[in-house]
Amino acid sequence: MDLNTLQDRFGATSAEPVVGGCSGATVVRLARGPNHLYYKAGPGAGLEADRLAWLNGTGFPCPQLVDRGNNWLLTTELAGRDASEDWPAADRPAVLAAMADGLRALDQLSGCPFPSPFHGAGDAVTHGDYCAPNVFIDPGTLRFCGILDLGRLGTGDRYLDLALMYKSLRGMNPQYGGLPAARRFVELYGGDPDDSRIEHYITLDDSGDYMP
């Protein structure tokens, strides 16, 4: 759907494509009245809408599902800035700690009806792509604001999300300091940075067989 059609369909006054992401999904930021909404379209949108609807029911911080259709969803804007943006050096330790806090809170939810697509034992609610661009932090308080990009959310092994953030911090977000930051994140969460499941889940993720 082109930008003008999207704008008209949702009664928006502007529509800007959001560049980035590797899922191949189309993401567009729409202005409607004083608010912004996000339209996301792609083959995983139906799975993501189901998971978002469940997470909305728990009260966990994440975008609210406003509308959905065949392979698309429309959500409210999540407050804060994502952790992959440039953060002042003095704020980075607190951003790391906030990402660990957010993950602990997510894992402690219960009653998730979806299994994680990653095989592995565990009863944690896992995000499935817990990397810096999908985690939002309040730039004023430096506290966790929420998560998005939820197509792989499901019950599984808590080391899955630890592994994916470890990967994100080790090689993809050098502002945090690379490997020591990846290890620190796991420790802040309360995990063991030498647990063999970390490399195991990174290898599975790198295989590309788990796209939503």
Q: Is 173 helix (H, G, I), strand (E, B) or coil?
A: coil
Told to check if 133 binds ligand ATP by CB under 6 A, we report: yes
Sheet strands (E) in 97-186: 124-126, 135-137, 144-147, 154-156
**Under the criterion CB under 6 A, does residue 50 sit at the interface with ligand ATP?**
no
Number of residues that bind ligand ATP (CB under 6 A): 18
The number of helix segments (H) and strand segments (E) in the chain equals 6, 10
How far is residue 184 CA from its own chain's centroid? 20
Closest separation between CB of residue 37 and Mg ion, Å?
A: 17
Task: Give the per-residue contact string, 77-106, with ligand ATP (x = CB under 6 A; - = no).
Answer: xx---x------------------------
Each residue 131-170 as x (binds Mg ion by CB under 5 A) or -, in order, gives ---x--------------x---------------------
Q: Helix 158-167 to helix 179-189 angle, to the nearest 10 degrees? A: 160
Q: Which amino acid is it at 161?
A: D
| Residues 89/95/73/123 CA torsion (nearest 10 deg) | 150
One-letter amino acid for residue 180 of the chain: P
Least CB distance to ligand ATP at residue 35 (A): 11
DSSP-assigned letters across all residues of 74-99: EEEPPPSEETTS---GGGHHHHHHHH
Q: Given the complex with ligand ATP, which of 12 and 25 has the nearer CB atom? A: 25
**CB nearer to ligand ATP: pick between 25 and 142:** 25
Tell whether residue 154 is a contact of ligand ATP (CB under 6 A). Answer: no
Residues for the chain: how many in total? Answer: 212
- Rounded to the nearest whole angstrom, what is the least distance from the CB of residue 157 to ligand ATP in the complex? 20
For position 93 contacting Mg ion by CB under 5 A, the verdict is: no
Identity of residue 99: M
Structure tokens at 82: 């994502």
In the complex with ligand ATP, which residue's Cβ is closer, 79 or 89? Answer: 79
Site residues for Mg ion per CB under 5 A: 21, 134, 149
Site residues for ligand ATP per CB under 6 A: 18, 21-23, 25, 27, 38, 40, 63, 75, 77-78, 82, 129, 133-134, 148-149
